[in-house]
Chain A
């Protein structure tokens, strides 16, 4: 064992030579063939339960993300992004009070988002390391740069509006944030789908639309809550549109995912979220256009609905990661399908 043989490319090859004779041509221990010797008594085959996991343990490691931080960020980021877009639309169509509410709301949601994102890091003091690189293969990296572009504009838009200083700069920032807002609100779908978590990953076709809808629902809710009735028209319609898109996307996702949709279907949070969004949106366009109190209640329901949806999606993903059958069975089906196709051709 004193000399270590080298492989053909100069790298070390492992060899544990416990033989005493060690002569070339003699089979080494690593070529032992277990089960080749012996005389097994013939027995009737024992009934085999299909073994599709290792002691029921998940294949994947559970995401370390905290629900309060990351699901909270999914909600707040969506609220901020869609609110900025709503603010820009309100400003351009002469609704200054709706615009102000949306701008201030976006800035507060952005602040909450940044707090949640940094708080969730294992080493918060190193959050600046996110800016070392730009990687299109990492939605988190792309998102960091989106937030870096969006954040100052959203801040500037709100500060200029509230203070009344630099109106032209404020307008430019409002438009800039309004254009960046949709990216902030939807990239988070790629963020969670670009993982091995089965329900998130396989839901990637609908997730961006679900998140866009949920973000618009939240922004509409905020508008209903904070803007006067005369100006809240876009917020009411946006909430209705958002809630409709959110529900259609969620239904389509549940249908397409088949057995993988089980954690989604079981989620009470998602059902509550859908109900709050739909009820809030309908109440908003009916009673919410006449009564301030109804508008506030509808707005609160919409915000709560959007938050429930995001937490529901987050929890469903965690659940699918923790159950080995959600990892193994779709992969088994994929293999079986590939094999069947190969046999046909």
Chain B
């Protein structure tokens, strides 16, 4: 927690830059991810949430395409739906592979680990399904799988990276909305892209997870969004929960000492008649 992880991870750290301004909502990333990683089916239902059928990230959804319909203009575009402004935001969400990853911090078995690529991966054969990582994640990414009882999330295709291949979702993305590569390079590219998109009239564009000074130390998978993060179901200012842990331990220590002193005081104040007393 104390040392500069971002610096330590910088060399050889890879990541995703998901540019939602060119996402077309085809869900090829969802399919490619499921196929490559053999992620089990987790129900396809009509949700009524635009074209979204997967609802959110979890143990069995490692890429999730969000669809947001808004009565707002998209730049200078004429939507052609009568007197109504309309825009359709789509964004492919994924595990953020945080610089300061809460899931990794709280894992009591060491099942979650930081790979040589700077990503965060679950070792399924070590995980005992305690579920601590699930409420620890400030983005609601990781979940536990019913069929195995263990935690599961995006590995950024750890096996493919090892073989010199890019992750399945980035490989399949037909518009390059999902870009994979060296994180430092992606961050530079994202800066340029942001300027370009803003100059083209999308003033609401912003980068998300790009700042290494944020509450999770920047993310390995970051985004170009066209609206506030919460519109896409992302937390606006996520903070790694273990940032406050030193203070938590201090409070726990004080409370424990107080408990000891309090119980001792209740016994010592008056002793029973004829008792042995303190030895």
In-complex Cβ contact of A122 among B129, B193, B230 (8 A): B129
Q: Which B residues touch A122, using CB under 8 A?
A: 127-131, 144-145, 148-151
Once the chains bind, are A53 and B272 in contact (CB under 8 Å)?
Answer: no
Nearest-neighbour CB distance to chain B for A249, whole angstroms, equals 9
Chain A positions within 8 Å of B165 at CB level: 12
Q: Are A327 and B235 in contact (CB under 8 A)?
A: yes
B53 within 8 A of A: no
| Interchain CA distance A82-B255 in the complex, whole Å | 12
State whether B111 touches A89 (Cβ < 8 A): no
Q: Which chain B residues border A181 with CB–CB below 8 Å?
A: 259-260
- Which residues of chain A are within 8 angstroms of B268 by Cβ–Cβ distance? 89, 93
- CA of A128 to CA of B79 in the docked complex: distance in angstroms? 59
Within 8 A of B (CB), among A4-57: 4, 7-9, 11-16, 18, 28-41, 43, 45-46, 48, 51-55, 57
> Using an 8 Å CB-CB cutoff, how does the interface string of B235-268 with A read, 1 for contact, 0 for none?
1111101101101110110111111101111111
Contact A233 B272 (CB under 8 A): yes
**B74, B233, B278: most-surrounded residue (chain A CB, <10 A):** B233
Partner of A54 from the list B68, B136, B238, B245 (CB cut-off 8 Å) is: B68
Q: Are A182 and B257 in contact (CB under 8 A)?
A: yes
User: Chain B residues near A89 (CB, 8 Å)?
Assistant: 263-264, 266-268
Among candidates A31, A82, A123, A201, residue contacting B241 with C-beta atoms closer than 8 Å: A201
Question: Which B residues are in CB contact (< 8 Å) with A9?
Answer: 12, 182, 185
Chain A residues with Cβ below 8 Å from B171 are 14
Q: Which residues of A contact B238 (CB under 8 A)?
A: 196, 331
Whether a CB of chain A sits under 8 angstroms from the CB of B40 is no
Q: Are B56 and A52 in contact (CB under 8 A)?
A: no
Known: A86-B263, A201-B241. A40 touches B76 (CB 8 A): yes
Q: Are A93 and B262 in contact (CB under 8 A)?
A: no
- Cβ 8 A contact of B107, one of A13, A55, A138: A138
B221 at the binding interface (Cβ < 8 Å): no
A195: Cβ under 8 A from any B Cβ: yes
Whether the Cβ atoms of B173 and A92 lie closer than 8 Å is no
Given known pairs A16-B176, A328-B235, the reply for A197 and B256 (CB within 8 Å) is no
Q: Which residue of B lies closest to A60 (CB)?
A: B140
Given A51-B231, A121-B129, A138-B132, CB of A205 within 8 Å of CB of B77: no
Chain A hits for B202, CB < 8 A: 33-36
A194 at the interface (CB under 8 A from B): yes
Verify B128–A186 contact, CB threshold 8 A.
no
The reply to whether A53 and B106 contact each other, CB–CB distance below 8 Å, is: no
Q: Are A61 and B58 closer than 8 Å at their CB atoms?
A: yes
Task: Tell me which of A30, A41, A127, A138 contacts B176 (CB under 8 A).
Answer: A30
B51: CB under 8 A from chain A?
no
> Which B residues are in CB contact (< 8 Å) with A43?
73, 83-85
A residues less than 8 Å from B128 (CB atoms): 121-124, 126-127, 129-130
Q: How many residues of B contact A (CB 8 A)?
A: 126
CB–CB A132/B176 < 8 A: no
B76 touches A186 (CB 8 A): no
- From A11, A95, A121, A133, B272 is in contact (CB under 8 Å) with A95
Query: Please, which residues of chain B bring their CB within 8 A of the CB of A28?
Result: 176
Query: Is A187 an interface residue, CB under 8 A from the partner?
Result: yes
**With A31-B196, A35-B77, A194-B248 in contact, do A141 and B108 touch (Cβ < 8 Å)?**
yes
> Is B5 at the interface (CB under 8 A from chain A)?
no
Chain B residue nearest to A84 (CB atoms) is B263
Bound: A122/B182 CA distance, A:
36
Whether B8 sits at the interface, judged by CB under 8 Å, is no
B125 → chain A closest CB, angstroms: 9
B121 contacts A by Cβ under 8 Å: no
Closest to A333 in B: B237
* Contact B235–A331 (Cβ < 8 Å): yes
How far apart are the CA atoms of A45 and B268 in the complex, in Å?
73
Residue of A15, A135, A136, A212 ringed by the most chain B CB atoms within 10 A: A212
* Interface flag for B31 (CB, 8 Å): no
Asked whether, in the complex, the Cβ of A196 is within 8 Å of the Cβ of B136, the reply is yes
Give Cα A209–Cα B257 distance, bound, in whole angstroms.
Answer: 10
Does the CB pair B166–A12 fall under 8 Å?
A: yes
Q: Provide the A187-223 mask, 1 if CB < 8 A to any CB of B, else 0.
A: 1011001111100010011011101100110010000
Inter-chain contacts of B149 with A (CB < 8 A): 121-123
What 7 A-B pairs come out closest when comparing CB atoms? A122-B129, A35-B75, A122-B149, A94-B275, A54-B233, A208-B255, A126-B128
Interface pairs (6), CB distance under 8 Å:
A16-B175, A61-B58, A93-B271, A95-B267, A204-B244, A332-B236
Known: A14-B178, A183-B256, A190-B245. 8 other contacts (CB 8 A): A14-B173, A54-B68, A54-B232, A61-B137, A64-B131, A140-B130, A204-B244, A328-B230
Q: Chain B: residues with CB nearer than 8 A to chain A?
A: 1, 12, 14, 19, 21-22, 47, 49, 52, 55-58, 66, 68, 70-79, 83-85, 87, 102, 105-111, 126-132, 134-145, 148-151, 164-166, 170-171, 173-182, 185, 193, 196-197, 200-202, 227-228, 230-239, 241-242, 244-245, 247-249, 251-252, 254-260, 262-272, 275-279
